[in-house]
Structure 1
């Protein structure tokens, strides 16, 4: 897997798909989550698009050096995209990844659209205690914590839940890296939303216990080209309803790419 070193920190990424003329979709995971989180969307979108999945600092083998701030995560993302020689991207971010996408769109010039899940315009709109419970310091609590991510029906599919627990054990941030990710969420401020003029799809689990549905609606309404789409489910609704969500992302990117010429 290719790597890039930035700010003394080595990050892993993977670019899949052929053709420089294809739209490139870049996936940014939630706080403390490894790239496993996009194991449904990225493979399904590879082919019609190029896809790039990477491991933010502190996850899945990437170095875990501080600082952990949204600004630093956005700079890391720029380093990854520069190393991959990707000039125009459609960013898909969840939670902290949505915050990173918002900051990236403000500071750098490669993004053409944003698709955000469980997003909030500031850290004070996030239930920090619930977010910490979803990403427990104690690895023996990983399975039970997923009740905050999935509906009871989905959670009952124990085979898949057990696999997700193993992916989390292998890839998610732990120790100081986990703490740094959570603190980055709490300290985030998006800045004036009217300055973010990219087409933005804001999707939100209707029962998300970490960021309220109203916070997602407000973000979409405040963005000049924001569009809000509720999704049944909780924090990881994009996993639970992967096919429908992937189709929605593809339609949105195609629409944006057509408008972009």
Structure 2
């Protein structure tokens, strides 16, 4: 693992924890994590693959995660655009004019927003396990949870197993560290899917670090509220994206099935769609982070 440099940057009144690895003179990769996940969700093996290829990596804790500021969402609600502006604040804090943006899940939607509304900041875009930022998943989720058949004109809902897990998880206590780790480790096991092996030790370390790095682990739930809030800026056509775009999606994604990634790639001109056989909605499988890292590095090159 390359020696990191930590920096706290300001985004309005918020303070965001950031970490840079590699040489500041190398092209920058901004790594944007998904819902409720701090920057350490990006595996070290993936980061090292970039640094070894002559890139510098900047990863950071979203607001309401890790060592970044927490927000009282009831009095100061925020949306996807605010999370995207946090990302530009991170670039500004590191004096990076433009970067190769790599986003996972919600981070992929943030990357789309930047590529549409701040195109000068995005050299290339890689969106992993996500869908079009203007698609509302609410109706599909509601039908599935009500036991109704999926709407064939809509993107598919999560798998029944994942929805059943969410219902069970809602009954579990998560107040203590051990309770939090147990519940979240099982979530990552389900998100991994049943095809690729699950790297339980890596997931366990990440879940523990997620709890230990924040004083309020419930604040991360605000990301769900922000992600579901559909604003006009999210409906901007993705056809306007000029940055070379790579869409990576697992064939066994239980949260966002494969058609979500395919739909995103179809909306972005000249994008490349890369299905990953057996991958679920996580990178917690032995060898997978380095494999994904090599694919992204080739795209950036």
| Range class of TM-score, shorter chain | 0.7 to 0.9
Matched, 1:133 2:157: no
Structure number with larger C-alpha Rg: 2
Residue 7 of structure 1 and its aligned partner are, at CA, apart by 1.9
Q: Paired residue for 2:37, among 33, 38, 62?
A: 33
1:235 aligns to what?
Answer: 281
1:201 aligns to what?
Answer: 246
Residue 192 of structure 1 and its aligned partner are, at CA, apart by 0.7
Give CA-to-partner distance per residue, 1:128-161, whole Å, 9 cap, x none: 6858939978324112111222134523x44334
> Matches of 1:208 and 1:145 in 2, distance apart?
13
1:117 aligns to what?
Answer: 128
Residue 238 of structure 1 and its aligned partner are, at CA, apart by 7.2
Q: Is the 8 A contact 1:209 1:234 kept in 2?
A: yes
1:245 aligns to what?
Answer: 292
Matched, 1:93 2:103: yes
> Matches of 1:147 and 1:13 in 2, distance apart?
27
> Matches of 1:195 and 1:178 in 2, distance apart?
31
> Matches of 1:239 and 1:43 in 2, distance apart?
16
Residue 44 of structure 1 and its aligned partner are, at CA, apart by 2.4
1:168 aligns to what?
Answer: 210
Residue 174 of structure 1 and its aligned partner are, at CA, apart by 2.8
Q: Is the 8 A contact 2:130 2:261 kept in 1?
A: yes
Matched, 1:3 2:8: yes
Q: Paired residue for 1:106, among 107, 116, 123?
A: 116
Aligned residue pairs total: 251
Q: Paired residue for 1:16, among 14, 21, 45?
A: 21
Residue 117 of structure 1 and its aligned partner are, at CA, apart by 0.7
TM-score normalised over the length of structure 1:
0.86
What's the Cα RMSD here?
2.5
Structure 2: unaligned runs, 5 residues or longer:
1-5, 142-157, 175-179
TM-score normalised over the length of structure 2:
0.76
> Matches of 1:37 and 1:190 in 2, distance apart?
28
Residue 171 of structure 1 and its aligned partner are, at CA, apart by 4.5
Q: Is the 8 A contact 1:36 1:171 kept in 2?
A: no
Q: Is the 8 A contact 1:26 1:89 kept in 2?
A: yes
Q: Is the 8 A contact 1:90 1:114 kept in 2?
A: yes
Matched, 1:78 2:120: no
Farther off after superposition, 202-211 or 122-131: 122-131
For the structure 1 residues 226 and 238, does the alpha-carbon distance in structure 2 shift closer, same or farther, using more than 3 Å as the test? farther
Structure 1: unaligned runs, 5 residues or longer:
255-261
